[in-house]
Structure 1
Amino acid sequence: MNAPSLPRSDTGPLHELVHSGCAPTFLAALHEALRHHPAPDPPDPTGRDARLTARLRQLTRALPRARDLFRSPAQLATLIAWSAAAEPALCMTVINHSVLGLGSLICLAPDHGPLREQFETLETARAKCSYLVTEIGQSNSHLATRTVAEFDAQTREFILTTPDQGAVKFSSTAAHGIPRVGVALARLVVEGDDCGVFPFLVELSDASGPRPGVEMTGPVELSALPLDYAYVCFTGVRLPWEHWLRDDATIGPDGAFHEPLGSPDRRLARTLCVGQALWATLPAAAAALARQAGVAAVRYARRRRTQGRLAPGTPLLDYRSQQHAVLGAMADAFALTCAAARALELWTASRSAQRKGYPDGTDPIGFAPWSAVSRPLSAYKAHSIREAARITALCQRHCGFAGFLDANRLASYRGFLEAFEPAGGDSQLICYDLGRALADEVTAPSSDDVTPLPPLQDPQWWPTLLRRHTQELTRRLTTRRDAFAAAGHHAKDSFAVWNPLLDEAAELGSAYAARLAADDVTRTLTAITDPETRSRLDPLAALHGALAARRHAGSLLAAGTLAPADLDELPQVTDLLCDAVLPHLRWLEDAFALPSDVVPAPLGAEDYNQALAQTLTWKHGAMS
């Protein structure tokens, strides 16, 4: 077995950051499981499903079992990151199966003993697991789950039912002869009483098709992230007691329901606790895709020569506009890598500090449940997915036609990231709730941050500026909220008050998430003691801040956080920082790029034209 072709000897500290500090033995096993799979998806969904299932089984054989991965968040995050770069559809399969499906069993089954057989089947991928949460008939269906699991006191079973067409579930779970198991969220009803939303383990299909009482549509195609999607509904499916993933709730012998958490909202946040595992690991995938896109765009720009009349034969990388884009992509990917490390750190700490590893959440449920599950981790999810999607789209554009070829992976990366804008917790709803929660915490006007701004070329400039900006946006939103409430004699948390303020709440929520990520860059740099590494990363971090300020100039100017004169300096500073990053570009590529047999995209090869030609089938016309 070949070890990963990384890192170069002097990329050590950055290599540790990029790969979450995982041991070389784990990286080598992951490399071996993912290498040499360049084949595109078959057009037949059945063939695609079989191929993805085979790859999932290969991963389960090569790596620790899911329960052990959950005890090692760094390994789980690295698995998600590498599989995303290797093939986004495989990553989504791993997320659905291991993080959300098996994760629900791991975290919410109080005793794993009764589910020993199910664990064995799923941890070896003899059956695939799907997470069934979304219902198609209404927005924010998580807050009003209508699928019902009615308790039968005589048999101590549950009867799972889809009440009408609007409660039909949607997930990547089509039946192609491969056994399927689902973790379905349903409203528990005991003696006619609504007892809140819980997950239930359901056998969906076997080699013959859907199980009795389960109805599934044929494949519903989604080209942005090609998987085996389907609509699913239930008609009186009987589930045994142990298939209720009840956490610490129970139903006594007398049929009385006992809920230690005390409220349906707290139960919903607890039921969705696997969202924390997703949000803690998904930023690693987003950062990995941003890094791969940045490396591909840099290498393309270095060897691609333009024939423009100003400078015929000049490499694209010599153009300032190209530098701003592709070096900026590398800088922004570094910032996302820092944020991913912090998200993982927060999840690891919460698992040690909180009951059973997951806090119940402190924010009230508002537009969506996500902030109540975890405010910072939901912020990391929204920020990392949006930033990585922007970076990937930018790299696509700056690679021209090559950026859009399927063989070069950027299109599939972008599809994965854009699919996660609404999936895994809708990013816009997260930002609404973040902004609302931040405004609601303000009980008195706070003094403005008077910390002087460092020089523009200092990595601290952008985090310091964002702290000021977030503070000002909070003050403005709070003032407008109070004015709307007073004018209409409404409660501060009413729909009438917040409805006209949603855009401003989202702006604040986005700024808060960006501030977390900016602070993570500072935290990462501070922890690096090697002066040579710091000298290479400082200008990269500063370039991230300068370009971010240019992108968000409108918001910064409108809030008065920046003056026009400050913006006037940014183009010149950006050029100086690009000049400081260029000498270390090969070093960054070595640290960022995954092995070429894990990501066999021609765009990342040193000779793109030759690498692309090797993927093509040529037909030769007969000579007369």
Structure 2
Amino acid sequence: MNTVFDSAEPSGPGTGPATDLLTTVLLGPDARREHGFWRRLVATEPFRRPAWPPCGPTPDERLALAHARLRALNNALDSAARPAADPRALAALHEWIAPVDPALATVAGIHYNLFLGSLLDHDPDTPRDLSDFLRLRRIGTFLCTEVAHGNDAAAVETTATYDPGRDGFVLHTPHCGAQKFMPNTSPAGGPKSGLVAARLIVDGADQGVFLLLVPLTDASRALPGVRVRRLPARMGSPVDHCLTSFDQVFVDRGALLGGAQGRVGDDGVFRSDIEGRRRRFLASIRRVTTGRICMSASAVGSARATLAVAVRYGGHRFVSGGRTSPPVPVVAYRSHHGPLAEAMATVFAMSLLHRRVLDRWEEAAARPPAEREAAERLVDIAKGWITWQARSVIVECRERCGAQGLLENNGMTELVTGIEGAITAEGDNLAIHSRAAAQLLFDAARDPQEEPAAGPPDADLTDLRFLGRLLDQVERLWFARASARMARVPDGGTLERWNAASGPALRGVEAHAYRQAALAYDSALTALPDGEARERLGELARLFALRWVARNSGDLLAAGHLTAGQVDGLTDATEQLVAAVSGRLPELAESFALPRELLADWPITGARYADAYDDPGASWHTAAAREPAGGAR
């Protein structure tokens, strides 16, 4: 039992067992309020794993289940506007829903964040009746990406031309490449409306890309002028990814989501407080940043669940212990528990960085623009790093479960493929990291800082302060290399200069993410009282930092930040921590506070996992029935 959620009274710092304190570290000091509702929800019947036939559900059956669960979720809310208006609630929703049903996380994220959130954020002076969307009589979706425009969405070519005679806009798809390339736009699940990103044309002038509210389908078909075609099945996802196009579809002037970025007045004149079409577009789609936080949350929750399953299975899957030894659990072997210990250090780092980013994003809302931009950049960096780390963790854990981990009923395959969607959603990781790399590289060149010494030659590899300075040096080394490479092509064009610098600059972004995760570990350790929980978290923090230092040990040695003796000692220091963490894997996984009901739905989490494959008609059950009464004669 995790008393952070299950006891009558919440346990405060220093008053509960180590597991409870670590749960608070992972989920925040207000875990009961922030996460309790969603944790309880996924343990209820609508979200339990159904008994599918041996061949598994069809994609359409899985999609129907996701929409049924969306309605159950919506009915459980006191107001559907709450998650749309609260980034923390949205993040927690994704953290708990994604491990249960990645397709549900997709449709819920689109409806509550990109759709409802955008409607609530924009143009409060324009009244709209949102009751159909709040009660899910209509499902909301979001149409930005086009066949020919993804990460360059500011260049979308769908047009919305103002018609002064009818006082509204005419949406049109001019060619094949301008078809919207987005999920959840078919009639599956019920009537749909979408926020469509389109190029606003007023009096013949291109004012930039804005969002317009457009009805798409009724309960069975696309509405007149709207064409929706299903794309080929996407790897692992049952969500209805579609091509959507418009043929002279008229919407009234109130369909435009205006605000500071611009609006068309009663006189038919376009006015904007923001100069530049790109800036107007970014203001229109600002909910994408919250969506990136949600993608991080989905990745964190999915990685924790997969790791918990792998730890449990490793403890009750017995293998030969040797010719003269009894069987032992497979987790007894270093080759098995080592990767899980390293995954545990990474999952804690992902969770802590996610919470650090969420805190920064909330704090920055009322801060000057420069601080808001820095917070948004951290959101971008964290989204890429966390989802990539989640993929590594999930694939490793699946492999540690062998063939059992490939079966859909054991819950892992959906998460293996689901994380791929998170890596691409709300901006491809490489694209958003490239933008962050350019920003960090510019900041480093504009404001060079004095380089601190990493530490004395005899510094202890178990000293987190020393390890933190090494992580800082790794980041500096990569950005210095990027700057040097860019300087070698002073007369080149922008593309040539960026190509020269981008390789090391992207490594610098990765190093920046590792350093931010290490800082999140440090903050969590500072907040913990002395005791077992602090000791466990310190071991994880050291293992996390040492693995990154080891990966960059050659560079650190060449730059004089490590000695040959310290490099030689990295293996022993790491192995000592692997041994310490691996001995605590079950307790650490318990701190994830996953509901018992959720774990029970995955057969390999139980010690009697083989019972899931029992055959009532097999000989071991029927042999006794065939025996003559009174025994064999």
Query: TM > 0.5 between the two?
Result: yes
Is structure 2 residue 170 aligned with structure 1 residue 165? no
Alignment correspondent of 2:352: 338
Structure 1 stretches of at least 4 aligned residues deviating more than 6 Å after TM superposition: 557-560, 621-624
Q: Note if contact 2:197-2:212 (Cα within 8 Å) is conserved in structure 1.
A: yes
Question: Could you list the per-position Cα deviations for residues 253-296 of structure 1 after superposition, in whole angstroms to 9, with x for gaps in the alignment?
Answer: 44332111111121122122112211223322222222112221
Q: 1:393 aligns with which of 388, 392, 395?
A: 395
Alignment correspondent of 2:426: 424
Alignment correspondent of 1:307: 320
SS of the aligned residue for 1:204 comes to strand
Is structure 2 residue 24 aligned with structure 1 residue 16? yes
Question: Could you list the per-position Cα deviations for residues 135-174 of structure 1 after superposition, in whole angstroms to 9, with x for gaps in the alignment?
Answer: 1124534131111111112222111111100011112222
Q: 1:149 aligns with which of 156, 160, 182?
A: 160
CA distance 1:511–1:238, change in 2 (3 Å): same
Q: 2:246 aligns with which of 226, 234, 251?
A: 234
Rounded to whole Å, the distance in 1 between the matches of 2:415 and 2:464 is: 29
SS of the aligned residue for 1:151 comes to strand
Aligned-partner residue type, residue 158 of structure 1: F
SS of the aligned residue for 1:597 comes to helix
CA distance 1:553–1:219, change in 2 (3 Å): same
Single out whichever of 467-476 and 597-606 deviates more from structure 2: 597-606
Is structure 2 residue 114 aligned with structure 1 residue 100? yes
Rounded to whole Å, the distance in 2 between the matches of 1:468 and 1:545 is: 13
Rounded to whole Å, the distance in 2 between the matches of 1:599 and 1:219 is: 34
Q: Note if contact 1:169-1:232 (Cα within 8 Å) is conserved in structure 2.
A: yes
Aligned-partner residue type, residue 127 of structure 1: R
Following superposition, the deviation at residue 362 of structure 1 comes to 4.6
Alignment correspondent of 1:474: 479
SS of the aligned residue for 1:171 comes to strand
CA distance 1:24–1:452, change in 2 (3 Å): same
Alignment correspondent of 1:129: 140
- What are structure 1's unaligned runs of at least 5 residues? 364-372
Alignment correspondent of 2:73: 59
Single out whichever of 74-83 and 168-177 deviates more from structure 2: 168-177
Single out whichever of 459-468 and 532-541 deviates more from structure 2: 459-468
CA distance 1:90–1:444, change in 2 (3 Å): closer
Rounded to whole Å, the distance in 2 between the matches of 1:193 and 1:474 is: 42
SS of the aligned residue for 2:365 comes to helix
Alignment correspondent of 2:602: 602
Rounded to whole Å, the distance in 2 between the matches of 1:151 and 1:398 is: 58
Following superposition, the deviation at residue 301 of structure 1 comes to 1.7
RMSD of aligned Cα (Å)? 2.9
Alignment correspondent of 1:435: 437
Is structure 2 residue 492 aligned with structure 1 residue 458? no
Rounded to whole Å, the distance in 1 between the matches of 2:222 and 2:137 is: 16
Rounded to whole Å, the distance in 1 between the matches of 2:219 and 2:615 is: 36
Rounded to whole Å, the distance in 2 between the matches of 1:500 and 1:244 is: 42
Count of residues in correspondence between the two structures = 601
Single out whichever of 128-137 and 456-465 deviates more from structure 2: 456-465
Aligned-partner residue type, residue 270 of structure 2: F
Rounded to whole Å, the distance in 2 between the matches of 1:466 and 1:560 is: 14
Single out whichever of 174-183 and 445-454 deviates more from structure 2: 445-454
Is structure 2 residue 417 aligned with structure 1 residue 415? yes
Question: Could you list the per-position Cα deviations for residues 107-156 of structure 1 after superposition, in whole angstroms to 9, with x for gaps in the alignment?
Answer: 224236x222xx22222222222211111124534131111111112222
Alignment correspondent of 1:367: none
Q: Which of 1 and 2 has greater Rg? A: 2
CA distance 1:187–1:546, change in 2 (3 Å): same
CA distance 1:595–1:139, change in 2 (3 Å): closer
Rounded to whole Å, the distance in 2 between the matches of 1:306 and 1:287 is: 31
With normalisation by structure 1, the TM-score equals 0.88
SS of the aligned residue for 1:278 comes to helix
Rounded to whole Å, the distance in 2 between the matches of 1:120 and 1:228 is: 24
CA distance 1:497–1:324, change in 2 (3 Å): same
Rounded to whole Å, the distance in 2 between the matches of 1:529 and 1:230 is: 52
Is structure 2 residue 120 aligned with structure 1 residue 115? no
Single out whichever of 270-279 and 573-582 deviates more from structure 2: 573-582
Q: Note if contact 1:132-1:171 (Cα within 8 Å) is conserved in structure 2.
A: yes
Question: Could you list the per-position Cα deviations for residues 542-563 of structure 1 after superposition, in whole angstroms to 9, with x for gaps in the alignment?
Answer: 1122233345557766877656
SS of the aligned residue for 1:23 comes to helix
Following superposition, the deviation at residue 74 of structure 1 comes to 2.6
Equivalent runs, 1:581-592 vs 2, <5 Å: 581-592=581-592
Aligned-partner residue type, residue 475 of structure 1: A
Rounded to whole Å, the distance in 2 between the matches of 1:258 and 1:327 is: 57
Alignment correspondent of 2:44: 35
Equivalent runs, 1:239-318 vs 2, <5 Å: 239-248=251-260, 249-307=262-320, 309=322, 313-318=327-332
With normalisation by structure 2, the TM-score equals 0.87
SS of the aligned residue for 1:210 comes to coil
Alignment correspondent of 2:192: 180
Aligned-partner residue type, residue 185 of structure 1: A
Aligned-partner residue type, residue 509 of structure 2: G
Rounded to whole Å, the distance in 1 between the matches of 2:287 and 2:554 is: 37
Rounded to whole Å, the distance in 1 between the matches of 2:187 and 2:165 is: 32
Question: Could you list the per-position Cα deviations for residues 8-55 of structure 1 after superposition, in whole angstroms to 9, with x for gaps in the alignment?
Answer: 952333223333424359624652355332125974444333321110
Alignment correspondent of 2:629: none
Rounded to whole Å, the distance in 2 between the matches of 1:83 and 1:59 is: 10
CA distance 1:30–1:106, change in 2 (3 Å): farther
- What are structure 2's unaligned runs of at least 5 residues? 627-633
Equivalent runs, 1:546-561 vs 2, <5 Å: 546-551=546-551
Q: Note if contact 2:441-2:483 (Cα within 8 Å) is conserved in structure 1.
A: yes
Rounded to whole Å, the distance in 1 between the matches of 2:371 and 2:121 is: 13
Alignment correspondent of 2:100: 86
Following superposition, the deviation at residue 566 of structure 1 comes to 3.3
